[in-house]
Chain A
Amino acid sequence: MSESAEALATRSSGSQAARDGAHRAPSRADRPGRARADLRQRLEIVLLSGPAIIVFLTFVIFPVFMAAYYGFFKWKGFGVPTNFVGLQNYITIFTDQNFLDALKHNAFIVVVSLVMQGPAAIAFALLLNQNIRGRSLIRVLIFVPYVISEVIVGTGWGLMLQYQGAVNDLLTKIGLGAFKVDWIADPNIAIWTLMVIISWKYIGFAVILMLAGIQSIPDELYEAAAIDGASYWQIQRWITLPLLGPTIRVWAFLSVIGSMQLFDLVYIIWGQYVSSTAGTSTMATYMVREGRLTGNYGYGNAVAVVIFVISLVIALTYQRFVLRRDTEGALTGEPGRKQK
C-alpha cells in the first residue's frame, strides 16, 4: 500500500503533527524527525494490536490448524500423535450412517429455520414498527428467549415437553387430548419439536435485526409514497421489502452458519445418545460423542475439520454470490468502508 507524504504527515504521531502544524508537506530537513515518528507509530501499532492478535491467533486460528493435523492420526489425546492413518478418519466419517444422518438433520435445520423464521420475523418487525403504545416493552420481551442461555431453554422446554409435562397437560385441558404425543422421544416428531424450540429461541434476534433494518430506510421514501397515495401494503411491498434486502441476506447468513454449528440445545434436551435415535443429532453432537466421549481425539478432530470445511464452503459461496451485492464480503471487506 503506498502512502502519500501528506497522509503520513497528518497521520503520524501527535507531536510530529503538532510541529508540522501549518505547512503540511514536510521538508527534507524533517527526515530524522519523521523517521523517529515512523518508529514511534510502529511501536504504537505493535503495542496496541499485538495482544488482541496473539490471543486471537492462539485460541481461534491455531486450534483449527491443529485439528487439521490431528485429523490424520488415530490418537487418544495423550502425548504426541504417532499413529498416522492418512485419510482413514475421513473415509470413516463419510461411510458412517450416523454422521450422514446428522448431516441430513443439519441440512433440514438450515432450510426449515430460514423458512419458519424469515417470513415471521419480517411480519413481526412490520407489526412492531407501527407506532403503537408499549412498543419498547414489547421489544424487550421478544428478546427474552434470545438472551437466556441454551441450558435454561433446554431444561425448561425439556420439562414442559415430557409426556406427563405441561404441554400435554394443557392439550388435555383444552380438549385436544388426542394430540398428546411424546414430543421429545418420538422420531417422527422430535426434529419438529427441535425446530419449534430453535425458532422460539432465535426469532427475537431476527425480529430485532429486521426492525433495525426497517428503521434505517429513509423516511422521505415513505413520505413520497404516501403522497402518491400508495396503500400500506403497497408501501411495504415496493419500498420496505426491497430495501430490507441487505438485512434479510445478512440475517440468513448468520442463521445458516448458526444452524450448521447447532450443539447446545440438542445436547441438553436429547443428551449424548438419545439424539441419534430421536432423529435430532447434528454434526456437532456427533463430533462430541465420537471424539470427546470415546476419547478418539484424532477422529473428533477430523469431524471438526469436516464441519469447518462444509460451513466455510457454504459461507464463501453465499458471500460470493449473495452478499457481494450488498457490501464487500466480511472476508474481503475493507475497514470503515461504507457501501456505495
Chain B
Amino acid sequence: MSQAALTARTATRRGKRHANASGATWGSPTTYLLATVLIAVCIAPVLYIIIGGFRTNAQITIDASGWPKPWVIGNYTQVLSSPVFWQEFGNSLISAVSTTVGAVGLALMVSFVIARYKFAGRNAMYSLFAAGLMFPLTVAITPLYLLIKNLGLTNNLLGIILPQIAFALPVTVIILVPFLAAIPKELEEAAAIDGASRLGFFFRMVLPLSLPGVITTGILAFVGAWNGYMLPLFILNDSAQYTLPLGVQAFSSEHSVNTAAVLAFTSLSMIPALLFFSIFERRIVGGLSGAVKG
C-alpha cells in the first residue's frame, strides 16, 4: 500500500500521472514504452511459432517473416487429427501427472517429519535434500541410464517418472518445509487435545494449511516433467513411448521441409504448460519468493 502511496507521491510531483479508483496509476509513457518493448521481445518468438502454424509452406518460403495470407488451419487440424500427437500428449500427461503426485506426496511426508518432529538426524535429513540441489540431472544422466537399463525400465514411462520424482524432491522439500514449520504449534496441540493423532493432524490440518506451497511445488514439478528433454532422450527409444518434447524433435526432423506443420505441432505441444502456468502464476511467484528468503 505504501508502495502505492510512494508512486502516488511521485505522480503528484510530476503532475503527469493520474491515480484511478483502484490505486493503480497510468505510468509515464516511458514506463509503458519500455514495458511494451520487453513484452514484445518476450512473446514475439512464441507468436512467430503460433502464427506460422497458420501459414502454408509456400507462404513461409516466399516471405519468411510475413503474416498469414490467407490464414489456413490445415496444419493444426492435421496435427490434431494425428494419433501420434495424441499418443505423445497422453504419454506426457501420464509422466507429468504421476511425477507431480509422486514428488509432492513424498515431499509432503518427509517435510512434515523435518518440520515437526524433533529427533537426532533431523538436520542431516534436511541437508541431504538440500545437497540434492548440487546433483543436477546432467551429471547423473549417464549412470542413471545404466541404472534404469539394469532395472529393465527403458522404454517404460516409469523409467522417467521415478527419476523425475527423485530430482523434483530437493526443491519441493526446501519449499515445503518452511510452510509446514510455520503452522502454529497451538493448532497441533489443540488437535491433540481434541483427540487427533499426529497423522490425523497431518491430514486434517497440515494438508489444507500448506495448500499454497503444495500448489507451487506441484506446478513446478508438472511443468518440469512436461518440458523434460534429457531424461526421455536417454530412456525412451521406442517412439510409442515418446513424450511431447521428443515428439516435437522427431516430427521436426522427419518433416524438416514441412515448416508450417512443424510450427503447428510445436505450438500445440506448449499449450498445457502455458495454460497451467498462467492460471497459477501468482502462487508460483509467492512460493519462489518464500524459498529465496529461506
Which residues of A does B touch, CB under 8 Å?
1, 3, 7-8, 10-11, 13-15, 17-18, 21, 41-42, 44-45, 48-49, 51-53, 55-56, 58-64, 66-67, 70, 77, 124, 127-133, 135-136, 138-145, 147-153, 155-157, 159-160, 164-170, 173, 200, 204, 208-209, 211-213, 215-216, 219-220, 222-223, 226, 232, 246-247, 250, 257, 261, 263-264, 268, 284, 287-288, 291-292, 297, 300-301, 303-304, 307-308, 311-312, 315, 326-328, 330-336, 338-339
Across-interface contacts of A301 in B (CB, < 8 A): 142-143
How far, in angstroms, from A263 to B139 measured CA to CA in the complex?
A: 11
Q: Given that A1-B120, A14-B196, A44-B198 are known contacts, is A164 also in contact with B23, CB under 8 Å in the complex? A: no
A147 touches B125 (CB 8 A): no
Chain B contact surface mostly: helix
B263 touches A159 (CB 8 A): yes
Among B79-87, B207-215, B226-234, the one that faces the other chain is B226-234
B139 touches A209 (CB 8 A): no
B245 touches A132 (CB 8 A): no
Across-interface contacts of A61 in B (CB, < 8 A): 132, 135
- Measured CB to CB, the closest approach of chain A to B2, in angstroms, equals 4
Complex A-B, nearest 4 residue pairs according to Cβ-Cβ distance, in ascending order: A212-B289, A149-B227, A336-B181, A59-B166
Across-interface contacts of B38 in A (CB, < 8 A): 124, 127, 138, 142
Tell me, yes or no, whether B63 is within 8 Å of chain A by CB: yes
A300 touches B147 (CB 8 A): no
Tell me, yes or no, whether B293 is within 8 Å of chain A by CB: yes
B128 touches A53 (CB 8 A): yes
A145 touches B3 (CB 8 A): no
Q: Given that A7-B118, A165-B64 are known contacts, is A200 also in contact with B130, CB under 8 Å in the complex? A: no
* A283 to B, closest residue via Cβ: B138
* B224 to A, closest residue via Cβ: A149
A160 touches B45 (CB 8 A): yes
* A168 to B, closest residue via Cβ: B64
Across-interface contacts of B239 in A (CB, < 8 A): none
B142 touches A49 (CB 8 A): no
Residue from A8, A42, A263 with most neighbouring chain B CB atoms (10 Å): A263
Q: Given that A67-B143, A208-B285 are known contacts, is A52 also in contact with B106, CB under 8 Å in the complex? A: yes
B270 touches A152 (CB 8 A): yes
Residue from A14, A250, A303 with most neighbouring chain B CB atoms (10 Å): A14
Contact with A along B98-137 (1 / 0, CB 8 A): 0000100011011011110111111101111111111111
Which residues of B does A touch, CB under 8 Å?
1-7, 9-10, 20, 23-27, 31-32, 34-35, 38-39, 41-43, 45-46, 48-49, 52, 61, 63-66, 102, 106-107, 109-110, 112-115, 117-123, 125-147, 149, 162-163, 165-167, 169-170, 173-174, 177-178, 181, 185, 189, 191-193, 195-201, 223, 226-230, 234, 244-246, 248-249, 252, 259, 262-263, 266, 269-270, 273-274, 277-278, 281-282, 285-286, 288-289, 292-294
Across-interface contacts of A148 in B (CB, < 8 A): 46, 227, 270, 273-274
Q: Given that A11-B118, A311-B136 are known contacts, is A131 also in contact with B189, CB under 8 Å in the complex? A: no
B107 touches A147 (CB 8 A): no
How far, in angstroms, from A165 to B45 measured CA to CA in the complex?
A: 12
Across-interface contacts of B138 in A (CB, < 8 A): 261, 263, 284, 287, 304, 307
* B151 to A, closest residue via Cβ: A58
How far, in angstroms, from A62 to B286 measured CA to CA in the complex?
A: 33
Q: Given that A164-B64, A212-B285, A264-B229 are known contacts, is A52 also in contact with B169, CB under 8 Å in the complex? A: yes
Q: Given that A11-B118, A48-B113, A66-B146 are known contacts, is A127 also in contact with B274, CB under 8 Å in the complex? A: no
A13 touches B197 (CB 8 A): yes
A160 touches B281 (CB 8 A): no
A216 touches B289 (CB 8 A): yes
A141 touches B39 (CB 8 A): yes
A247 touches B292 (CB 8 A): yes
Across-interface contacts of A51 in B (CB, < 8 A): 106, 109-110
